[in-house]
Amino acid sequence: MGKSTLLNALLQEERAIVSDIHGSLPAWEQVLRVYDEEHCEMMLILGDILNYGPRNRIPEGIDPKGIVERLNNLADKIIAVRGNCDAEVDQMLLDFPIMETYALLVDGGKRYLLTHGHIYNKENMPKGPYDAIVYGHSHLWELSRNAEGKAICNTGSITFPKGGNPPTLATLEDGKFTMYNLDTLEVIGSFDKLEAEKDQLIIQ
């Protein structure tokens, strides 16, 4: 599946989801090229935006100032939450809020809990009226469902993927999560619908 497939998908779903940018401008510009070409309506950013983090190596093309400029150009299109590497000084540079632990996105009658993953994740699910938890932090992408029936989407990382995985970008359309290899723009997994009887998890 090639580039046009990903671009068409983004055009339909109008939401891109990324996490763990860690200051890498080349990785972020790769995301923005897809976003800009298809005029997506919303960008969901799940934390660890500008700081590369003391446990990580310095990423290729680290440029927090350059990322700030590009992010602020999209400020009215972004929903973001705080990661464990984000700080108040980062918020001072950005024109959209990033300091909340979670955000609740309601779409198509479904509720999506957006968080970074260092506090709430599949091992520590908060109580509340939501259908899916969407996070990053571990740098390991995942599409699954827990025993209580809540959908789990871990977007992985666009900069520091782990476990032999490629850098990943997720999208959301009508309750369907799709995971893409950001290097090749190929689909590597999808999770179809949030209703349990209609779920279809596909890992490619």
- CA distances from residue 184 to 2, 30, 168 in whole angstroms, order as listed: 7, 11, 10
pLDDT in tens, 169-184: 998 888 889 898 999 8
Q: What superfamily would CATH give domain 3-203?
A: Metallo-dependent phosphatases (3.60.21.10)
Count CB neighbours of 171 within 10 A. 24
* Mean pLDDT along residues 132-159: 94
pLDDT in tens, 61-87: 889 999 999 999 999 999 999 999 999
* Spatial distance between the Cα atoms of 69 and 99, rounded to a whole number of angstroms: 18
pLDDT in tens, 105-139: 998 889 999 999 999 999 999 999 999 999 999 99
pTM for this predicted structure = 0.87
* Spatial distance between the Cα atoms of 29 and 177, rounded to a whole number of angstroms: 22
